[in-house]
Chain A
Amino acid sequence: MDIPRIPLGNWIEGGLNWLTSEYSLVTRGISRFTQTGINSLNDSLMWLPEWALLAIIALLCWKIASIRLAIGAAAGLALIWNLGLWNPMIETLTLVVIATFVAVVIALPVGIAAALSERLYRLIMPALDFMQTMPAFVYLIPAIPFFGIGSVSAIFATVIFSMPPAIRFTTLGIRQVPVELIEAADAYGATRGQKLVKVQLPLSLPTIMAGINQTIMLALSMVVIAAMIGADGLGSEVWRAIQRLRPGDGFEAGIAVVILAMLLDRLTQSLRKSRQ
């Protein structure tokens, strides 16, 4: 007996098509808005001369973290500049910053809500598992009909891919606040809002920062992959090197990604430590 194949793919496509046509106004609006954001951040970062931005970043590293990180950052950025990868690096940084910003803005309230409501928690956690384990490339496909080829689609896919840790860590952080402290807040007649602002959020801040750090790292890895749907930046340098079979160019761009990743990671980690 032949069991008919379940047309799961067709259903999903149908749903996506319907979404695309019904909400084209919305997606186009988002697209234009995001593109403007990307362009203006890009332009302002590129408007600064390379040495000035390099100095600013090094100074920031020195203030927030250590002189060692500042020296490392300056050396790494100087290498990228020297390799002629400065502009792609800025484009990648812009995508990471915007994607992370959007992801965190969505993740914080969702994470808080999941921490406070058991039902929501049970609803959201499997969704996060889905978002994280689905191969990242798959998000790129529906992004194109929604937002067209280019950076906005890259951001869309990146936000979905990188958001889960921020939600998870926020939820975890709030749930980890010791019961006694919640009890103490209750005993003195704190409202839910007061409890959240005065006790739960400040105490879970280090954990939330760890989540944001993870989100930044995932976002960076995704914006590189997003070069496949036409996102600018270091990823497209790698992509071009693959197509032309030039391992040297590929590694150069790859090293630039590594430098950027380490810089962002150390910077956010020390931000977290200084808060503790």
Chain B
Amino acid sequence: MDETRSVKIQVRGLSKVFGKQPKKALELRDQGLKRPEILEKTGQTLGLSNISFDVYEGELLVIMGLSGSGKSTLIRCLNRLIDTTEGDIIIDGENIPTLGEKALLECRRRHFSMVFQNFALFPHRTVQQNAEFGLEIRGIDKVERRDIAHTALKQVGLEGWEDAYPNQLSGGMQQRVGLARALANDASVLLMDEAFSALDPLIRKDMQQELLQLQSKMQKTTVFITHDLDEALNIGDRIVLLKDGEIVQIGTPEEILTQPADDYVRRFIEGVDRSRVLTAESAMRPVRTTARSSDGPRTALHRMRDHSIDSIYVTDRDRHLLGLLEAETASRAIEAKAETITDYLTQDFRKVPPEEPLQNLFAMFSEKSFPIAVVDKQQRLLGVVVKGAVLDELARAGEQ
């Protein structure tokens, strides 16, 4: 992660006590007591304790934890649906816990859109009117908000459903409306509270992919809550791991998997520990297409286009790996009227034997985005490993 990225939200020393004497609970907390003892002594629940983290501009930050970890409380503290007990939440220079009523409304309108676990669509409004809600609240005029909402609905693939009511839609479609309502609002931060947890697994996967696609286009700062490790690994740029109202670890999915901060994280990603025995072979996919050394650049480029890829591995007739051809280089070869592609290959990619431990592959991905080639001792190409496949494999191992 680029450390120079600008910080969008700064959370510092945030705590939340549920109960009427929060000070007492915090005093005990400062004496080193934990949540259960504090509850027993004071009857106060320590929901969040001394939470500090940054949300960078444009990143997708996942806050992950089991139920009771405080993740829902945390996301609601960000836009102050729940009042905080102590600490600062600074967004663009404004400290949210100290805002007056009016400033808070203004801040919510400008900075936060929210997507909810159970969709929270308004049943008396059409899909279109639901998508317009945030804009309507802000007093944007009818014609303009209709256009904006229409664009947002188009983005989530709901064109043609404008006049339907939420109860006429499936769960997945309802959440698309929820997403469109958030996108139309065009606030600077998108809060997603277990947004896909109520969907069935297949639809959930689709929605995750779509969110990633939207994200790569729009680069919207997003805070995403989930209890699902698979989901967190799949979509998160970084993950904040919560337990009993405290942060256990903050890091990229790779860091969490490969360098768990403590036993809790280790147990949480239990089985992911098996990454030591998981190898490149287990995450390997067959190569969808390769080019032959005898192919001309046009043929190679054509194959890449057919499979929508930017680079292609080149082998000889016995599948010995010769090198990698990038689409750009192939175009240059065409301009130069080259007969074959052999002169245009690069060796600037990673190749590993099938028994390479999976965890070693993470570091390789951060260098280049090419798939990693898996070759046998004779340098024959067996398959490739893509980044998503590694995480998938680890997550699947974690579930078993």
Interface residues of A (CB under 8 A from B): 178, 180-181, 183-191, 194, 198-199, 202-203
Contact = CB atoms under 8 A, between A and B. Distances in A.
Interface of B: 79, 81, 105-109, 112-114, 116, 118, 120, 122-124, 133-134, 136-138, 185, 191
A184 B136 contact: no
B130 to A, nearest CB: 10
A199 B185 contact: no
B265 to A, nearest CB: 31
A202 B114 contact: no
A188 B137 contact: yes
A198 B135 CA distance: 13
A203 B124 contact: yes
Contacts of A187: 79, 81, 108, 112-114, 191
A181 B133 CA distance: 12
A184 B121 CA distance: 8
A28 B136 CA distance: 47
A194 B116 CA distance: 20
Contact of B81 (A181, A183, A199): A183
Nearest to B104: A189
Contacts of B118: 180
B357 to A, nearest CB: 44
Query: Which of B105, B118, B136 has the most CB atoms of chain A within a 10 A radius of its CB?
Result: B105
A188 B108 contact: yes
Contact of B137 (A183, A189, A203): A189
Contacts of A202: 124
A188 B185 contact: yes
A-B CB proximity, top 5 nearest: A189-B109, A189-B108, A187-B114, A180-B120, A184-B120
B120 A203 contact: no
A198 B136 contact: yes
Contacts of B105: 189-191
Nearest to B185: A188
Nearest to A275: B124
Mostly helix, strand, loop or mixed at chain A's interface?
Answer: helix
Contacts of A203: 122-124
Contacts, number: 55
27 contacts: A178-B120, A180-B116, A180-B118, A180-B120, A181-B120, A181-B122, A183-B81, A183-B116, A183-B120, A184-B116, A184-B120, A184-B133, A185-B133, A186-B108, A187-B79, A187-B81, A187-B108, A187-B112, A187-B113, A187-B191, A188-B108, A188-B109, A188-B133, A188-B185, A198-B122, A198-B137, A203-B124
Contacts of A180: 116, 118, 120
A190 B109 CA distance: 8
Nearest to A191: B105
Given A184-B114, A194-B137, A198-B136, A189 B106 contact: yes
Given A198-B136, A203-B123, A203-B124, A186 B81 contact: yes
Contacts of A181: 120, 122
B281 to A, nearest CB: 46
Contacts of B120: 178, 180-181, 183-184
A163 B114 CA distance: 40
Contacts of A186: 81, 108
Contacts of B114: 184, 187-188
Contacts of B107: 189
B122 A199 contact: yes
A46 B198 CA distance: 60
A180 B195 CA distance: 13
Contacts of A178: 120
Contact of A188 (B106, B113, B123, B124): B113
Contacts of B79: 187
Nearest to A203: B124
A189 B191 CA distance: 14
Contacts of B113: 187-188
Given A178-B120, A180-B118, A185-B133, 5 more contacts: A186-B108, A187-B79, A188-B137, A189-B138, A203-B123
Nearest to B112: A187
A197 to B, nearest CB: 11
B116 to A, nearest CB: 6
Contacts of A191: 105
Contacts of A184: 114, 116, 120, 122, 133
A176 to B, nearest CB: 12
Contacts of B116: 180, 183-184
A180 B106 CA distance: 21
Query: Which of B108, B118, B124 has the most CB atoms of chain A within a 10 A radius of its CB?
Result: B124
